[in-house]
Amino acid sequence: MKMMSLTTLKKIILDTGKQNDLYLSLINESGTIISANTPMRRDFLNAAPAQANTSFFDLIHPSHKNDFIKTIQQAGCSQDPATAELYIKNGYYHPTMWQISRLQQRTGDSHLLFCVGYKVLDAGQFEKFNSLVKTHHPLIIEGVTGILFHDSSGSILAANKQISSILETSLERLYQLGDIRIPWKTYWKINNEEGVALAFEDSPFMKAIKTGIAQTATLMIELKSGETRWLFFHSQPVHDNNPGGCAAISHIIDVTNEKKLAARVQEKKALIDAFVRQTPNLVWVLDEDSRLHMASDAFFSYFGIDKEASLYKEMSKLVPESVYRNFYDKHIHVLETGRPMKFIEKVRFADGAKYISHINIFPVEGTEGRKLVGGYAVNLPDTSRIESELREANERLLTISQATTNAIWEWDMQTGTIFRNEALMEMIGYQPDHSKGLSWWLRRIHPEDRNRVGDKVKEATDNNLQSWQDEYRFKCADGHYKHIRDKGFVIYENGLPVKMIGSLLDISDRKELENKLADEKLERQRELSETVIRVQEKERTRIGHELHDNVNQILSSTLLFVDMLQASGKEQKQLKGKSLEYLRTAIDEIRKLSRELVVPHFKEQGLVDSIRTMVDDIHMTDAIRIQFTHDIESDLLSPGKKITLFRIIQEQLKNILKHSKAKNAAILLQTKANIVELVISDNGVGFDSRQTHQGIGLSNIYERASFYNGTVNVQAAPGKGCVVTVILSVS
C-alpha cells in the first residue's frame, strides 16, 4: 500500500465495506482503534465512531489477547499479512478470522496496523453456536481441552480453538466442513487401541447419543498430513435444549506424548527383562533388609534355587552361608555410603571349576524412597591356565607344520601376525619372515584378483561362515605368477572371529593344462567355422554354375524357339512379345544370381579387388554412388574370413539398393591392432531398429559374423540412414 496521509487512510476505511460484512479497522501497535468501517462500528462499536480511547483488545476475549499480541508482532516481521482466529464481543463472542498487515505510516512513535476480519459462522451456524454458548460458555470459549459439539447427524454445532489445533486445522475450516463425518470417512484413518479401523457410528460421541450414557475411548488418528496422534475422547450426551436436537459434547485430549512415553517405558522394561533373562553373568538387586527383589536367570541357575519362590526372601536363606558372609558387609557399606564398590573374588562354581569374578556393587534408586543395592558379577577366565594351554597348542601346531609337506598359514586376527610354514615359503620363493602380514600378501595378488579375494575373506567373517575358498594368481619371488588355490577356516570366540587357519595348493600346472585345452577348443571351433563356410560357399558355387550353365542355357534356347514362332493376329503378337520379355528378364536375373553365388577367386583377384569389382558393377546401373576406402592387410585373413567379409558387404549393399532409397553409400575396411573392422553406411530413409523386425539380410550378417565370434552393431533412425559395423579378430 502506497504512503498516504492518515486522514486519507481513515476516509478510505470509513467508505469501504459499507454494504458487506467485511470488518476493516486501523489500529496502532498498542491496539487503539484509529478508524473503523461501518460494519465494524455497527457490530462491535455500537455504531459509534471510534474514539481515541477505544482499544481493539477490549473487544477480544481475554484468553485470546496473547494470540493477538503474537499476531501483531508477526505482522511487524513479515511482508505478508499475519492471521489469527479471535472471539470478538458483541453481547456474545463471535468466532472471527483476521488478517493483520503492518503499514509504512506511523502515528507518533507507533506503526499503524491494517486489520481485515470476517465472521467464521453464517447466520444459521451462529444461532446454534450462540444457543450453546449461553449454557456452555466456559467450555467453548475458555476450555483448555479440545471441545466439540455436534448433533446426531454429525453436524458441528460448536468447537473451540484447542480442537482445531489438535486436528491440525482451523475453526473456520471446521465450520466450513459442517459435518465431522466428512474427514472421518475420507482423509482421516482412525483405529481403536487394538489397531482396528473404527466406523463413525461406533465413535464414542455417537454411542453417547444413542445410549444416553457418557463414553470414553482412546483412538489413534492418522491426519491428512500423515502425522499420527492418539486422542482421548470423553463424550457425553447434551440433555439441555439445543438447536440440533440430540447432541453430544466431546472433551478431547491429545495423549500422543503419553502414549509414546508409555511405549518407551514398555520397551525399556522389555529390554531390562531380556537382559536379566539372557545375560550369562550373575545379576541381583537387594533391599535394606537383604531381601531379593530381582535377579538374572544365571543367578537362579547357579545357586540352584526356584525363581518364583526366591523373590522377596532374605539372601541368607537363598545362598550358601560362606557367600552371604563374604558379600553382606559390602552390600551394607554401599547402602550406607551410596558409593559403588568394585572388587575381584575367586569363586568356585557348582561344577568344581574355579573362576575369577569381577564384581560391581552399586546403589539403585527405588520407588517411594526405598534404598536398593544391585550387584553384577562377570566371570573372568583363569588367564594363567589359558596361556599355558595356548603355548602347548602353538607348540603342537609348529611341530605339525614342520612335519607336513603342505603349505599352511595361520592368521591371528587380533594381533595381525601371520605364521607361514616352510613349505609355503618355499612354494612362493620368499624367505621366512613373520613381519610379512596380510597387506604384504594382498599386494602380491594379481590386481585383477585382489579385490575379489579381499571381499571373499570379509564376506566369510561378516556372515559368520566357517570357511572360504578361492583361486587367484600370486606373484612369487622370481617375478612370475603362480595359480594358487587358497582355503581358510575361521575360528570364533563369543561370536567374533579371532583366528584363521588355511592351506595353499599350487594349481599352476592344472591352469596351464586348462588354458591349453581352451586354446585347442578355440582352434577346433575356428577350423569348424572355416569348414562350414567352405562347404556353404562350395554349394553356393555349384548352384551358381548350375544356374548359369544349365538353367540359363535352357532359358536361352527357349528364347530362340519362342522368337521363331510366327504370330498371326494382334493378340498373339502381344503374347509373343510378353513371353520374350519375361524370358530375357529371367535370364538376366539368373545371370546376376549366379554371379552372386559363385565364390570370388581371391587368390587371383584378392578381397579388395573383388569388392571393387562388385562396386563397379553397381555403378554401371547408376542406382547409387558408393565410396570404397580400405586399409587392410588381407593376407593376414583366412579364406573363410575373406569370404565372410565379402558376403556381408554383398548382403548389406543388396539391402541398401532394395530398401533404403539412398543416393550415396560408403564402405570402410581396415585393420586395427588384432581386429578387422568393416563399416557400411548410407544416407537413406533409415528405420527404427527397436521396432523394425530384423529381416533375412541382417540375420545373415549376424549369422556370418557369429561364425568367428565377431560382433555386429547396427545404428539406424528414421530419416538418418543406417550404419552397420562388423568387427572380427584377425587371428
Q: What percent of the chain lies above the pLDDT cut of 70?
A: 80
On whether both 75 and 38 belong to a single domain, the answer is yes
Residue 1 lies in a domain: no
Domain hosting 162: range is 125-261
- The span from the CA of 560 to the CA of 584, in Å, is 11
Q: What is the pLDDT of residues 78-104, one digit of tens each?
A: 778 888 888 887 767 778 888 888 888
On whether both 712 and 659 belong to a single domain, the answer is yes
* pLDDT of amino acid 317: 86
On whether both 532 and 588 belong to a single domain, the answer is yes
Residue 267 lies in a domain: no
On whether both 529 and 478 belong to a single domain, the answer is no
Query: Could you tell me which residue, 31 or 548, shows the higher pLDDT?
Result: 31
Give me the count of residues in the chain.
731
Q: What percent of the chain lies above the pLDDT cut of 90?
A: 10
On whether both 451 and 536 belong to a single domain, the answer is no
What average pLDDT score do residues 453-462 get?
A: 90
Q: pLDDT grade, residue 676 (50/70/90)?
A: very high
**Structural domain ending residue among the three candidates 210, 229, 261:** 261
On whether both 490 and 576 belong to a single domain, the answer is no
- The span from the CA of 148 to the CA of 618, in Å, is 93
What average pLDDT score do residues 230-259 get?
A: 79
On whether both 115 and 130 belong to a single domain, the answer is no
Q: pLDDT grade, residue 319 (50/70/90)?
A: confident
Residue 652 lies in a domain: yes
Query: Could you tell me which residue, 534 or 666, shows the higher pLDDT?
Result: 666
Q: pLDDT grade, residue 353 (50/70/90)?
A: low
On whether both 502 and 515 belong to a single domain, the answer is no
Tell me the C-alpha to C-alpha distance, in Å, between residue 192 and each of 83, 198, 252, 262, 364. Answer: 35, 6, 15, 17, 38
Phi, psi of 729 (to 5 degrees): -80, 145
Question: Domain of 665: which CATH number?
Answer: 3.30.565.10
- The letter for the amino acid at 580 is L
Question: Domain of 456: which CATH number?
Answer: 3.30.450.20
**Structural domain ending residue among the three candidates 506, 540, 556:** 506
* pLDDT of amino acid 1: 45
* pLDDT of amino acid 678: 93
Residue 671 lies in a domain: yes
**Most confident region among 12-16, 131-135, 175-179, 334-338 by mean pLDDT:** 334-338
Residue 31 lies in a domain: yes
CA-CA-CA-CA torsion sign (575, 580, 585, 587): positive
- The span from the CA of 522 to the CA of 530, in Å, is 12
Q: What is the pLDDT of residues 192-223, one digit of tens each?
A: 988 899 888 888 988 888 888 989 999 999 88
On whether both 465 and 546 belong to a single domain, the answer is no
Q: pLDDT grade, residue 142 (50/70/90)?
A: low
pLDDT value at 406 more than 60: yes
Residue 270 lies in a domain: no
- The span from the CA of 197 to the CA of 669, in Å, is 74
Strand 110-119 to 146-151 pairing: unpaired
On whether both 457 and 477 belong to a single domain, the answer is yes
Residue 268 lies in a domain: no
On whether both 56 and 171 belong to a single domain, the answer is no
Q: pLDDT grade, residue 126 (50/70/90)?
A: confident
pLDDT value at 52 more than 70: no
Q: What is the pLDDT of residues 522-581, one digit of tens each?
A: 677 767 766 766 677 667 667 766 665 567 667 767 777 777 778 777 888 788 888 878
Answering whether pTM is above 0.75, one says no
* pLDDT of amino acid 81: 86
pLDDT value at 328 more than 90: no
Query: Domains in the chain: how many in total?
Result: 6
* pLDDT of amino acid 604: 53
Q: What is the pLDDT of residues 487-522, one digit of tens each?
A: 999 988 888 888 999 889 888 888 888 878 877 776
Residue 269 lies in a domain: no
**Structural domain ending residue among the three candidates 89, 119, 149:** 119
Query: Could you tell me which residue, 693 or 444, shows the higher pLDDT?
Result: 444
On whether both 487 and 517 belong to a single domain, the answer is no
